[in-house]
């Protein structure tokens, strides 16, 4: 019940922020669920914009796997694993729409696996879905499969797109969810259902990203 109230309040905040923001430009900032600008160096939960059958937040499939698949939790109350964003070749701290980003899971505790950067597996797979895993390399400009973009999905949520060779947004592919053979709801390019999400800032954000493993 508490999670439901939090999400409802967050959606209201985001609607008000969207409605009061200026017209979209090439540098339109991304807002979290409270209407604040999303920034590098902060941690966020990527949670389904639809409470109920929409499922919960984004997380690693299994810490025993390295690299791991990126999945959506089946539980609405599970916010998932926090992530942080890094802009491509830019010193700006604000995250903007349609800007290339690395996405990386934040890990508080040391594990056997140091792979946390998202990557599109199987790229270039032109005619089939491609799963998202944690096999990427942060800041590697030539690794096209590890760069993503955040785009406005509707008036209150965002979606992820994979745009390796796009010009002005042409050629982008939405990232959605797809059930794997193991029954897990995997994130994948050309997934059956586009994953619309809101960003919830991690309240324990004072430690920054220095503990990432």
- 179 has which bridge partners? 185
In degrees to the nearest 10, what's the CA dihedral of 173, 30, 24, 118?
Answer: -20
Most distant CA pair in the chain, distance: 46
pLDDT computed for residue 2 by the predictor: 46
Give the separation between CA 125 and CA 72, rounded to whole angstroms.
22
Output the pLDDT for position 21: 47
**Is 18 a residue whose pLDDT tops 60?**
no
> Which pLDDT score is estimated for 55?
80
Q: What is the mean pLDDT of the chain?
A: 82
Which band of pLDDT confidence, cut at 50, 70 and 90, is reported for residue 100?
Answer: very high
Q: Can you say how many angstroms the Cα of residue 111 is from the centroid of all Cα atoms in its chain?
A: 22
pLDDT band at 32 (very low <50, low <70, confident <90, very high): very high
Per-residue model confidence as pLDDT tens digits over 123-180? 887 667 899 999 999 999 999 999 999 999 998 899 999 998 866 666 799 999 999 8
Q: Which pLDDT value is given to residue 202?
A: 92
Share of the chain above pLDDT 90, in %: 53
- What predicted TM-score, i.e. pTM, was given to this entire model? 0.82
- pLDDT value at 84 more than 50: yes
Kind of pairing, strands 193-194 and 149-152?
unpaired
Confidence label for 110 from pLDDT (cuts 50, 70 and 90): low
User: For residue 122, is pLDDT > 60?
Assistant: yes
Q: Tell me: the pLDDT tens digits for 43-56?
A: 999 999 987 767 89
pLDDT value for 114:
84
Rounded to 5 degrees, φ, ψ at 24 are -65, 140
Mean pLDDT lowest among 4-13, 78-87, 124-133: 4-13
Write a three-state SS string for the chain. Answer: CHHHHHHHHHHHHHHHHHHHCCCCCCCCECECCCCCECECCCCEEEEECCCCCCCCEEEECCCCCCCCEEEECCCCCCCCCCEEEEECCCCCCECECCCCEEEEECCCCCCCCCCCECEECCCCCCCCCEEEECCCCCCCCCCHHHCEEEEECCCCCEEEEECCCCECCECCEEEEEEECCCCCEEEEECCCEECCEEEEECCCCCCCCCCCC
Whether residue 25 has pLDDT greater than 90: no
């Amino acid at each position: 019940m508490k999670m439901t109230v939090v999400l409802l309040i967050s959606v209201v905040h985001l609607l008000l922020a969207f409605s009061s923001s200026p017209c979209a430009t090439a540098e339109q900032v991304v807002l979290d669920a409270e209407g604040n600008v999303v920034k590098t160096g902060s941690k966020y939960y990527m949670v389904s914009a639809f409470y109920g059958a929409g499922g919960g937040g984004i997380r690693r499939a299994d810490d025993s796997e390295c690299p791991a698949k990126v999945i959506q939790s089946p539980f609405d109350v599970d916010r998932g694993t926090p992530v942080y964003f890094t802009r491509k070749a830019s010193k700006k701290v604000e995250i903007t729409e349609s800007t290339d980003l690395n996405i990386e899971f934040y890990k508080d505790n040391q594990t056997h696996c140091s792979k946390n950067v998202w990557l599109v597996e199987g790229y270039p797979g032109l005619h089939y879905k491609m799963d998202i895993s944690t096999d990427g390399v942060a800041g590697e400009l030539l690794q096209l499969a590890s760069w993503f973009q955040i785009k406005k999905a509707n008036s209150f949520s965002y979606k992820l797109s994979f745009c390796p060779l796009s010009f002005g947004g042409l050629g982008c592919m939405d990232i959605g969810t797809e059930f794997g053979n193991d029954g897990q709801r995997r994130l994948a390019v050309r997934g059956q259902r586009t994953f619309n999400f809101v960003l919830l800032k991690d309240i324990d954000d004072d430690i920054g990203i220095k503990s990432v493993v």
